[in-house]
């Protein structure tokens, strides 16, 4: 759950750009509109020698209009629900901005070009200037439309990315639920065989029957609680593995020996529930149970370079014979690999290699989390 929230925050910050950055982007768009307007004016009045001046004026008018309009827009809080309500005041502001920006643009442009300040007094009387104000209004309108449209496209893109991220999250959660349900299935064959052993032991050796019952309770508790818990500690996982191995040792008698090595400083290390258990069960079911002589299972945890490494090795039938004898082998392993991939990506791995002189060595590596 935590990783998912982190993921969403990340998406938001990369896609919702800071306001200054948006203003700069909008200025770029404005300059393009202004240059286009200047070229248009020059084409209409035929005074090609005035093109440079027109451009300077045009850009000055445009940038001033942008500073007012876009500045106002970005200063206000962006609330999608209220967007419509700002439409009328925005239009009024836009119309009012046109003559102001045009005049200021003329002043700044003249100063920049070294022509001196035009006289404010005769400004509104000039018919040509009035036409230019209308043209400026048109240009500013186009600019506003372009900016708003671009924002809309970006917003749609952002929403789509978020929707995709959400869909991925949901898919992952569904997968995890499915996996938990799969894990929760305690094999009936195993359960009934264990009960049959208990039934026999009660008559023969009540003390051992009681020990076996303890193992069974611990195993069931660990397996069933794993359906609710997302992560667990290595100490708990080792306890569950030892309970299972204890059960199997009673059932298989002298055919099974086992050893669990957990360094004290790794007891609190966190890991996803039910990663270790399937590996231990595989070692028994595919390695030692079908082997006439039986053998040894060793479960060992170690840490190095920020990684937690758990090795489950057996002296059983080995990969080749196992795969041909029982086709179910691949399922547990591929499920575990999928889980690791979903949770850690390339930072975790599960490898299965032949052990020497015979048997299988399953090595699980994942990031060490001791919190």
Partner 1 sequence: MTTTPRPRALIAEDEPILAATLAATLRRLWPELEIGGTAPNGVAAVEQALALRPDILFLDIKMPGQSGLEAAQELAERWDGPRPFPQVVFVTAYDDYAVQAFEQAAVDYVMKPVSDERLARTVERLRARTAPAAAPAGDAALDRLVEQMRALLPAQPGAERLTVIRAAVGNIIRMIPVQDVAYFQALDKYVNVASLDGDALIRLSLKDLLAQLDPDRFRQISRGTIVNLRHVASASRDDAGKLTLHLRNPPDTLRVSPLFAHLFRQM
Binding mask 65-104 for partner 1 (x = CB under 8 A): ----------------------------------------
Q: Does 195 sit near partner 1 (CB under 8 A)?
A: yes
Among 279, 291, 313, 359, binds partner 1 (CB under 8 A): 291
Choice between 247 and 343, CB closer to partner 1? 247
Q: Does 201 sit near partner 1 (CB under 8 A)?
A: yes
Q: Does 319 sit near partner 1 (CB under 8 A)?
A: no
Among 324, 334, 351, 370, binds partner 1 (CB under 8 A): 324
Choice between 134 and 191, CB closer to partner 1? 191
Q: Does 207 sit near partner 1 (CB under 8 A)?
A: no
Q: Does 107 sit near partner 1 (CB under 8 A)?
A: no
Choose the binding region for partner 1 from 166-174, 182-190, 221-229, 363-371 (rule: CB under 8 A). 182-190
Shortest distance, position 194 Cβ to partner 1, whole Å: 9
Q: Does 196 sit near partner 1 (CB under 8 A)?
A: yes
Shortest distance, position 297 Cβ to partner 1, whole Å: 15
d(CA 311, CA 301): 6
Q: Does 210 sit near partner 1 (CB under 8 A)?
A: no
- Which two three-digit tokens encode residue 299? 């479960």
Q: Which positions lie near partner 1, rule CB under 8 A?
A: 187-189, 192-193, 195-197, 199-201, 203-204, 250-253, 255, 289-292, 294, 324
């Amino acid at each position: 759950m935590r990783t998912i929230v982190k993921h969403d925050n990340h998406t938001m910050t990369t896609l919702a750009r800071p306001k200054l950055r948006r203003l700069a982007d909008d200025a770029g768009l404005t300059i393009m509109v202004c240059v286009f307007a200047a070229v248009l004016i020059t084409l209409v009045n035929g005074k090609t020698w005035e093109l440079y001046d027109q451009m300077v004026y045009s850009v000055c008018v445009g940038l001033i209009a942008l500073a007012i309009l876009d500045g106002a827009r970005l200063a206000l809080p962006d609330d999608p629900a209220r967007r419509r309500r700002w439409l009328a005041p925005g239009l009024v502001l836009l119309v009012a901005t046109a003559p102001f920006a045009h005049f200021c643009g003329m002043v700044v442009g003249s100063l920049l070009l070294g022509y001196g300040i035009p006289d404010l007094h005769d400004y509104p009387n000039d018919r040509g200037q009035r036409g230019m104000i209308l043209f400026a209004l048109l240009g500013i309108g186009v600019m506003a439309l372009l900016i708003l449209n671009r924002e809309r496209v970006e917003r749609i893109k952002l929403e789509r990315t978020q929707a995709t991220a959400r869909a991925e999250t949901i898919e992952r959660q569904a997968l995890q639920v499915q996996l938990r349900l799969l894990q929760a299935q305690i094999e009936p064959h195993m359960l009934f065989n264990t009960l049959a052993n208990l039934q026999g032991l009660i008559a023969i050796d009540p003390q051992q029957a009681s020990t076996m019952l303890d193992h069974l309770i611990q195993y069931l508790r660990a397996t069933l609680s794993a359906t609710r818990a997302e992560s667990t500690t290595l100490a708990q996982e080792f306890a569950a593995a030892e309970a299972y191995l204890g059960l199997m040792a009673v059932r298989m008698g002298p055919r099974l020996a086992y050893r669990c090595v957990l360094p004290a400083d790794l007891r609190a290390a966190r890991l996803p529930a039910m990663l270790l258990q399937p590996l231990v069960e595989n070692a028994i079911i595919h390695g030692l149970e079908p082997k006439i002589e039986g053998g040894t299972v060793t479960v060992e945890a170690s840490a190095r370079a920020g990684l937690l490494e758990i090795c489950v090795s057996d002296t059983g039938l080995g990969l080749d014979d196992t795969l041909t004898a029982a086709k179910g082998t691949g399922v547990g392993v591929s499920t575990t690999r999928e889980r690791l991939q979903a949770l850690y990506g390339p930072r975790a791995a599960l490898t299965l290699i032949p052990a020497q002189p015979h048997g299988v060595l399953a090595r699980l590596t994942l990031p060490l989390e001791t919190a």
